[in-house]
C-alpha cells in the first residue's frame, strides 16, 4: 500500500476508534436511563431514539461486556445483579464525566481560567474598579491577577508572557503587540481644598511659582513624565519640587495634608479623598489597552469585550471635563 493509502487507512482507523469510544459512552447513558425507567418505550422517548435502536444498543453493550444487564419479559424489564452493580458504579462516574465536559466547555468559551492584567496607578480609582465589577458579574469563575509594575516595562512583561493584558498611557511600539485607545482625559492641577487657587482665578502655571510641588522624578523616560515635562516646557515653568514619588495615591495623600501641589491625570479625582481640589489643565492624555497580537485566548477575547464596554461608560461620562 502506498504512503497516501496508509495515511488514509490510519485516519479511518482513528475515526472509527473515536466513534467506537463515543458510542460506548452513549451506550452507558442508554443503559443508565433504562436502569432508571425499566421501560424500553419510555427510555426510547426520553433519549430521542427508536425502541428498536435502543434494544440494539443495549444488546451491543451486553455483548461487548459479556454480561446480561437486564432480564426481559413481555411485561417488564428488570436489572440483573450484575446490571445493578454496574448502575451503581457507572452513575457517579457519568456525573463526573458530565462535570468535566462542562468545565471543558467553560474553558473553551473563556469563562474559566485566569488572566494577568497590568495597570497604571492613575486608573486604580476609576476605570479598574468598574472593569473588575463588570468581569465579576459576567465571568464569575475567572481568576483575575492585577499587577502595577514600577520598574519593568509593560511591553517586556507582555512579551515574556508574565502578563496577558496591560493598560498604559501610550500605544505599544513593538509590532508583536496590539493597542487600542479607550478614551482621553485631561491633566489636572491638584491643590489642597483650602488653597487660594481655584478654577475661576487660575491663569497659568506661573501662578504657582512660589508653591512646593510633589511630582514624579522628571528625569524618568515614562510617557507620563515626558508629558509632564512638555506641560512645564510649554509654560517655561521650572517647579520647586519638594517631594518626589511615583505613586499617585501617595501624592494625593500628601497634597491633602497641605504639603504641596501636583499635576496628575484626571482619573485621580475619582479617589474621593477629602481636602483635595482639582483644576483642569488644557492638556490631555489617553488610556490604551495592549495585548499580544497573536494571542487567541478565549479568556482574552472576553476580557477585551468587557474592557470596551467599560471604556464606553467613561467616554460618555458627562462628569469628565472636556477642553
Q: What pLDDT was estimated at residue 102? A: 77
Query: Residue 183 is placed in which grid cell?
Result: 478614551
Average pLDDT, consecutive stretches of 10 residues, N- to C-terminus, the chain (323 residues): 42 40 75 90 90 91 91 86 91 82 72 86 92 92 85 83 92 93 95 92 92 91 88 93 91 94 93 90 94 91 94 68 40
Q: Could you write out the DSSP letters of every residue in 188-209?
A: EEEEETT-S--TTT---GGGGT
Q: What is the pLDDT of residue 280?
A: 93
For residues 105 and 246, the answer to whether their CB atoms sit within 8 Å is no
CATH class, domain 3-108, is: mainly alpha
- Per-domain residue ranges for the chain? 3-108, 114-315
Q: What is the pLDDT of residue 2?
A: 43
Domain 114-315 carries which CATH code? Answer: 3.40.190.290
pLDDT at 6: 39
Instruction: Tell how far CA 26 is from the center of its chain.
Output: 35
The pLDDT value recorded for residue 318 is: 38
Predicted pLDDT at 9:
40
Q: Which residues pair with 190 in a beta bridge?
A: 262, 278
Amino acid at each position: 500500500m502506498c504512503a497516501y493509502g496508509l495515511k488514509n487507512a490510519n485516519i479511518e482507523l482513528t475515526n472509527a476508534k473515536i466513534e467506537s469510544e463515543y458510542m460506548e459512552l452513549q451506550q452507558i447513558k442508554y443503559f443508565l436511563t433504562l436502569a432508571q425507567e425499566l421501560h424500553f418505550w419510555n427510555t426510547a422517548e426520553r433519549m430521542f431514539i427508536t425502541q428498536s435502536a435502543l434494544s440494539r444498543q443495549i444488546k451491543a453493550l451486553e455483548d461487548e461486556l459479556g454480561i446480561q444487564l437486564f432480564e426481559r419479559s413481555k411485561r417488564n424489564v428488570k436489572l440483573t445483579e450484575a446490571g445493578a452493580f454496574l448502575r451503581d458504579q457507572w452513575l457517579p462516574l457519568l456525573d463526573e464525566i458530565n462535570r468535566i465536559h462542562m468545565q471543558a466547555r467553560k474553558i473553551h468559551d473563556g469563562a474559566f481560567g485566569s488572566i494577568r492584567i497590568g495597570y497604571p496607578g492613575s486608573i486604580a480609582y476609576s476605570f479598574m474598579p468598574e472593569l473588575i465589577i463588570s468581569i465579576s458579574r459576567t465571568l464569575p469563575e475567572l481568576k483575575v491577577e492585577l499587577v502595577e509594575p514600577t520598574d519593568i516595562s509593560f511591553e517586556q512583561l507582555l512579551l515574556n508572557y508574565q502578563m496577558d493584558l496591560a493598560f498604559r498611557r501610550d500605544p505599544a511600539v513593538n509590532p508583536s503587540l496590539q493597542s487600542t485607545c479607550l478614551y482621553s482625559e485631561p491633566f489636572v492641577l491638584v491643590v489642597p481644598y483650602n488653597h487660594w487657587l481655584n478654577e475661576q482665578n487660575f491663569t497659568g502655571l506661573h501662578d504657582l511659582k512660589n508653591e512646593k510641588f510633589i511630582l514624579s522624578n522628571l528625569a524618568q523616560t515614562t510617557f507620563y513624565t515626558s508629558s509632564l515635562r512638555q506641560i512645564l516646557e510649554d509654560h517655561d515653568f521650572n517647579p520647586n519640587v519638594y517631594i518626589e514619588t511615583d505613586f499617585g495615591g501617595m501624592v494625593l495623600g500628601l497634597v491633602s495634608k497641605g504639603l504641596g501641589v501636583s499635576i496628575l491625570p484626571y482619573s485621580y479625582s475619582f479617589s474621593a479623598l477629602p481636602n483635595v481640589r482639582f483644576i483642569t489643565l488644557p492638556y490631555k492624555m489617553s488610556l490604551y489597552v495592549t495585548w499580544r497580537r497573536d494571542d487567541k485566548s478565549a479568556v482574552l477575547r472576553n476580557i477585551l469585550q468587557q474592557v470596551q464596554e467599560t471604556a464606553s461608560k467613561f467616554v460618555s461620562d458627562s462628569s469628565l471635563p472636556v477642553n
